[in-house]
Amino acid sequence: MNAARFTLSHLLQGLALVLAVVVLNFALVHSAPGDPVETIAGASGGMSEELKAQLRTQYGLDRPLPVQLGVYLGKVVRGDLGYSYFFNLPVSGLIAARLPATLLLVLSAVIAAFVIGTTLGVLASRKPNGLLSQAITVLAMVGFAAPVFWTGMMLVILFAAALPVFPISGMRAVDASGGGLAGAVDVAHHLVLPALTLALVYLAQYSRLSRASMLDVLGADYIRTARAKGLADRVVLYKHALRNAVLPVVTLLGLQFGNVLAGAILVETVFNWPGLGRLAFESVLRRDYPTILGVLLFSSIVVVVMNLLTDFCYRLIDPRIKTA
């Protein structure tokens, strides 16, 4: 019963938050400078005033902003995200087509950052003043300080000129044909640099946080009791200490998932990765309001769902929260 109430309350909070985000996104996008019709006219090489007025009427841009918002909310409730001004296709179809590439990039980066960052933090906590701990700390500081786009451009320069080992653009080779194992290997080969770029900054944060959390947990009384019982250091470290020390890292991962999606926009632009970030970047340049709003809505839903999953993971990892 407690789990049902917990889930229901969080779902209601998530729906309210998504609604607020939709309204805020709509107001911000429509208050930004630029006119979609003028952008379309410029891209087509010119357009008469009559045709411009016809397009504004067709897209509903001649209506007052509150009326446009009401119409848009009604469509969103029905699952209709509208049609793209530029691509002239359903926004939901565009998002569905680009979603697998973004999920592959983001999940690969998040998993790599979490696993490697937590492992480095645990290793650094074993001997806090040792050489390995200091080296990990320096690498974490460098990774955290470097902007995502700068890291991406440096990797492009490095692997385009000095070490041409990994592809620097796209998701598949130009001459790639079919799927199967060869296709998966080709995609994985193209994924290395974008995922590494996106993972580095979060890997640095997770390693620093897990190191600090492990040092705090290792000083707890129950850890000293476990060691006094004669348990192996490996058992104490990974079975008893890590389970509690990883809680702050899991929390940070869930809360930062929105930042990872935002970073994916820059990474996909640098590496020409055909995902939602690239779609959002192109839509902003073209003043494609429905596509921008659709991508923002989908991103906000993903963030809310990830926060909910983080709460569930918290309850699974720490039984005290479930009891409370």
Interatomic CA distance for residues 77 and 25, integer angstroms: 16
Write the DSSP symbol of residue 90.
B
Residue 121 CB burial class (10 angstroms; 0-12, 13-18, ≥19): buried
Interatomic CA distance for residues 12 and 25, integer angstroms: 20
Burial 72-101 (b: 16+ CB within 10 A, else e): beeebeeeebbbbbbbeebbeebbeebeeb
Q: How does pLDDT run across 65-104, given as a tens digit for each residue? A: 888 888 888 888 888 888 888 888 899 999 999 989 998 9
Q: How does pLDDT run across 3-46, given as a tens digit for each residue? A: 677 677 777 887 888 888 888 888 888 887 777 877 777 777 67
pLDDT at 148 (0 to 100): 79
Q: How does pLDDT run across 42-65, given as a tens digit for each residue? A: 777 677 778 888 888 888 888 888
Q: How does pLDDT run across 165-210, given as a tens digit for each residue? A: 888 888 887 766 666 777 788 888 888 889 988 888 888 888 888 8
- What domains does the chain contain, in order, with CATH numbers? 104-275 (1.10.3720.10)
Q: How does pLDDT run across 252-275, given as a tens digit for each residue? A: 777 777 778 777 888 888 888 888
For 233, the token pair is 């250091």
Interatomic CA distance for residues 26 and 94, integer angstroms: 19
**Packed helices 276-285 and 91-126: angle between N→C axes, nearest 10 degrees:** 120
Interatomic CA distance for residues 34 and 164, integer angstroms: 41
pLDDT(126) > 60: yes
Helix (H) or strand (E) holding 106: helix 91-126
At residue 165, φ and ψ (nearest 5 deg) are -100, -40
